[in-house]
Chains A and B, each alone.
Chain A
Amino acid sequence: MHMADALLSPAVGIAMDAVAVAAIGYSAAKVKKDELSDKKIPLIGVAGAMVFAGQMINFTIPGTGSSGHIGGGILLAGLLGGFPAFLAITAVLIIQCLFFADGGLLALGCNIFNMGVIPCLLVYPLLFKPLISKNLGAKRLSIASIIAVIVGLEVGAFAVVLETTASGITELPFGTFSGLMLPIHLAIGSIEGVVTAGVLCFVYKMRPEIISSATGGQRLTGVPVKKPLIALVCLTLVVGGALSIFASSNPDGLEWAMGKTSAEELEADNAVANGAAAVQDSTAFLPDYALASDPENPVGTTVSGLVGAGITFALAAAAGLGISAVKKRKKASVSA
């Protein structure tokens, strides 16, 4: 479910990054308020690492022969509580992005929202906790885990569809995309739900205090909700607004989404775009090689494009190889 930079427009990506930063700030303030935070922080860190390590374990799904692995939002929330779990998941997502090329830096905000905010800060307090608030026991814990994991994954998958469609990089129609994503994640969710239930029940049997303390001291007191919420809304509006102006000068992003629904392209009637086009016209060094008869062709000058791209690629590769060769020679002469 990791989103990649290549499928996102900057407007969507940066707006979601702003949301993620606000959520991190708020959750960190909540964790800090906890008296035991100094002792708890290593536990939160190790829990994040556990999700990571847990994802490496393949297990066979009965009757299918295929194998699956766990995700972890609800599992962590069940062990630590919503806010600490959110911070742990965020840390895992950043590490996956930086060190394992899983998800992108621009897409981090989206991924943190889909896999962190939704399960830990929305599904956990609104669904999981009420479900286990009365008569906490293995049976209730199992039912709550399965339902919460499925709901969390489905909402997350739907968020992926929304973010991708709003970015307008892929041609997949909204309906088809949802039709593919939701059933797949329903299947994944039910498997992951069963495994999550298994883990939480095991921990509850061995150390019931871990689960009950996670669900205990997490009341929304101490930290003001209003201020961060207002700041978050303002930040999103400013960032989204500023970037959509930029986005509208390109035939992608929001305009594409609008163009799809109204079945006509909006004119890019904006000073930045016109200025850029003028500069582009005057500086292009292979200007009139277009084969296409359609002047509106977004590919533009095809032969010049192909030749130019080919030359550029060769130059880039040569630059890299050249620098490497010079460096090697220098090193050889130093050691000799």
Chain B
Amino acid sequence: MSIVGTRVVRVEDGTLITKGGTYVEDLRHEALTGAVHATFVRSPVAHARITSIDTSEALQAPGVVAVYTAADIDLAPGQAGPVAQPWLADGVVRYVGEPVALVLTEQRYQLADAAELVDVDYDPLEAVASIDAALADETLLFPDLGSNVAQVTGGEFDEHAFDDCEVVVTETIVNQRVAPAPLEVRGAALAWGEDDRLTVWLSTQNPQLARTIIALGLGVGEERIRIVTPDVGGGFGAKIGSDPEPVVLGWAARRAGRPVRWTETRSENLTAMTHGRAQQNTVTIGGRRDGTVLAFRLEVVQDAGAYPRTLFLPTLTELMASGVYHFPRVETSSKGVVTNTTPISAYRGAGRPEATAAIERAMDLFAAEIGRDPAEVRRTNFIRPEEFPYQTPTGASYDTGEYAAALDRVLEAGGYHQLRAEQARRREAGEPVALGLGLAAYVEITGGDGGGESGRVDVNPDGSLTAYTGASPHGQGLGTSLMMLLSDQFGIPLERITVRHGDTDEVPTGVGTFGSRSLQLGGSAVRRAAETVIERARALAAEMLEASPDDVVLDTDRGAWHVRGAPSSATVGWADVAARAGDGELSEDVWYDEGTPTFPFGAHLAVVEVDTLTGKVVLRRIVALDDAGPVVNPLAFEGQRHGGLGQGAAQALLEVMSYDSDGNPTTATLADYSFISATELPDFELLHMATPTTRNALGVKGIGEAATIGSTPAVHNAVVDALAHLGVRHLDMPATPLRVWQAINDARKAD
């Protein structure tokens, strides 16, 4: 019986629940003996010229080994999109949290004492603290660039695009800046070896990519860098590759001649780890009063933060602009602007949640304008199953989808019509606690980066199995999933299979984990390697069984080869085959690059109650269908969806990284940043559907980000829906009590 598709408790958990994981901070490696501790002195102002840095007092502090500034660093600066990004601020600081100096001390407790004594004089410049301020181009972050607009795409709009529409609605929707906030902050430990190679233990999602970035930064060949990924306490996109800090630390380890350990504080993390989202999107949607949408326009402005290193985000939003709908005309444009704020990068969904939020708010605005039910309007415009593969006007090629079926399942399971009746009853009775129903139908793109993945499978002499993957799981449970796939193919039990990843000396090539790519690409790579190994084993088994290779079969229940039709006669097991095999014969290392992007989809229904007297929103239910094709381990699959739902609801209701007009962050600790907790979330109601794809060896799609993408607009729409009878048409996320109360008041005044 196949183990794939059954609920398997994770192999990863045994240690995590007894001894705890081994995260960077937990390493007690011999090579780190005598390591110095490191901390960065960071800018407390958003935009200023540095007039002087005096390190003399800090150098006198107990235990200080070194204090470095930009003047010490003899590396070529890094590059962030079109601009240079110095490793330590060089003359100008551009956001609160930008590294200005590096302090090394003998003991951890000496760090903060010494860092306080580094005396930096700042001559403040006007801060560009919002998208509007950036677009005004009055103060420039990078005068050489000539503008704060660092990237422009599209925008050649047809002025007649909406001419044949009976109704046109437009709205500017803020997709607010949020903090990825993995529970483990950033950290690294670094040691140069006697062989002049640098080993970096790094909390990353992509060791091989980190190796490239750090080698480039240090100006050395990649062969001189080894990345080892210990357990990683969450990444959510913000630990892709390497940030600039590890480059500085690698340089400092060499300069100081000592291994270096670094763990940031949470307050540093909230201002100096990249943030996500931060778009301002103007939607224009037009169509007929029967609910047919004829044209949709999306104008994206991406706040890229101070150093625009991730300008793929707005174009990914453009790619996914039209969502699950067959619209005759779709037009998009984007601008990426720099501001005096923390740089923006990937956060769970990275570009796609913004697209879905824009189109799903637009669909509700359109439905409200023509007075039709939002479910009905969605159904009218869905891409139909027979239209796949579907080429979107923005250039995506959707593989498979059952969009209407997904929505119908959710409506039925949620009791949509009864909920609408209850909503009407409350409105009729004038009850102060309003009911809101929010829908989102979504499609997203996984494995969209176009890269491949590595996979290697070895049959060991004892008949056990070791697999190596270029994916770099950090909580997803991919190791267990790969073991399940291998167990199924080889007939070898899970406890005799090991999956290894994260050490670039052991897995030299790989792309890593982001964009929900790891199962569809990493899993396919391991699948291909396994197939080759099994075919070689077949030849060996045939020799041993004195039969033709075509006549031997692998009994995957027993993990043994036998002659076809004679299962009870002589068999050879994996250890037997391994004994017969030549060196490396039962090892295969593949680069899987046949996979192309897949398009998971789904529908979510959120139910909220809004206290219209206080503005407080309580999320009562989320009913979610997330279809990512066949499921390897339902346990991990559901876990990914749960986490996604939580983070999506968090953005809709609570979380925002805020800055004042001077560019000072006002949510820089976990006491101030409204990280969602168990008390703000309901139990999740999950529905299942599995529509396979043909675009990779496993027929699977990615699930890491899907539920975040669906739940954010579902919850957001629910809040607006709850207030519709009070005249509220739109309010931006997060739907905090104050914002909801103000929206109600504004609608009342307008009435």
Say if A and B assemble together.
Answer: no
